Amino acid sequence: MDNKGFISIEYLFSIFVILIIAIPLLFLSQSAIESSLNMEEAVSHRAILDNVADEISQVNSNGEGYSKYIRLPSNVGYYEITVENNKLTIEYGNKKGETLLPLLNIDSKYKLQSGKSYLISKNGEGKLVIT
């Protein structure tokens, strides 16, 4: 600025250049943060799905009458796990994930919801029952 209060052209030009550089950097950083949050959410839901699959496989591999309690965590938001035939499907938000369970002998289709406890057992006929 000169002594009469006018802003010099160089000062205006430098502010303009800084804005041109800063605005795309802000959008890029916002995109990177959203991507990492999205990935964190997907990994946490995948871990839940794998844990449930492990528990079901453990009950399935043991003899008749074996049972196990599981409690689905609720700290990652609402989700629903569908158990049918030889696969598990998790649905949360508008996303979906699957895992296969080979040699699973299950008597019907089950829907497991977050925050609830379930008993997985193997009945006398060798079929898995979730209550």
Q: What is the pLDDT of residue 119?
A: 93
Q: What is the pLDDT of residue 3?
A: 60
Q: What is the pLDDT of residue 6?
A: 65
Number of domains in the chain: 1
Read off the pTM. Answer: 0.74
Where residue 70 falls (left for φ over 0; alpha for ψ -120 to 50; beta otherwise) is beta
Q: What is the pLDDT of residue 84?
A: 87
Q: What is the pLDDT of residue 5?
A: 56
Does residue 50 lie in a domain region? yes
Q: Domain range holding 26?
A: 9-130
Does residue 4 lie in a domain region? no
Does residue 23 lie in a domain region? yes
Buried b / exposed e along 2-37 (16+ C-beta atoms within 10 A) = eeeeeeeeeeeeeeeeeeeeeeeeeeeeeeeeeeee
Does residue 3 lie in a domain region? no
Q: What is the pLDDT of residue 4?
A: 60
**pLDDT averaged per 10 residues in sequence order, the chain, 131 residues:** 66 90 90 86 90 90 88 90 89 90 82 93 86 88
Q: What is the pLDDT of residue 104?
A: 79
